[in-house]
Amino acid sequence: MNPQRNAGVSLLELMIVLMMAIVAAMVVPMFGSGVSNTQLRSAARQLASGLRLARSEAVAQRRETFLVLDVAGRRFKVDRDPQEHVLPRDVDLKLYTAQKDLVDEKVGSIRFYPDGGSNGGRITVGSGERKYEIDVDWLTGRVAILD
């Protein structure tokens, strides 16, 4: 046998390694977090929709309106709307808002004023490395979803 001939990698070996890498790249995410990208995006859109509803109610009814978020219970409610919206249980939530709008470490709210403005804040919806941030501009009350 020629020692130089055994030093290289055959095309077949290279193809086998590449196929294993492709299969691993497709299979590993399936066994990761229990929340799909679609569920995560849907939860972010649901929260953004609730925030926009709270803002429009504040402007239309000319009174302060809140979106109350229960981080531990993974649910939220718009001020006087009787419906409580439940988010997937595997979704991680974080709320950044004004100190006076925190009920406790697990519950807080984002406040909208009659002029359309807000106390501002951010809600992060995540699962593992994936996350969406819902920003509320304090001056305009504009709600935006960021990847």
Range list of β-strands (E), 16-142: 65-70, 75-78, 84-86, 92-96, 107-112, 121-127, 130-136
Spell out the domains of the chain, with CATH numbers in brackets.
Answer: 37-146 (3.55.40.10)
List, for residues 28-71, the tens digit of each pLDDT value.
655 555 688 999 999 999 999 999 999 999 999 999 999 999 99
Edge-to-edge order in the sheet of strand 130-136: 92-96, 121-127, 130-136, 143-146
pTM: 0.77
Quote the pLDDT of residue 3.
57
What pLDDT shows up at residue 39?
93
CB 93 within 8 A of CB 130: no
Residue segments in the chain with a per-residue pLDDT below the cut of 70: 1-7, 28-34
Q: What is the pLDDT of residue 26?
A: 74
What pLDDT is attached to residue 5?
A: 58
For 62, left (φ over 0), alpha (ψ -120 to 50), or beta? left
pLDDT at 31: 58
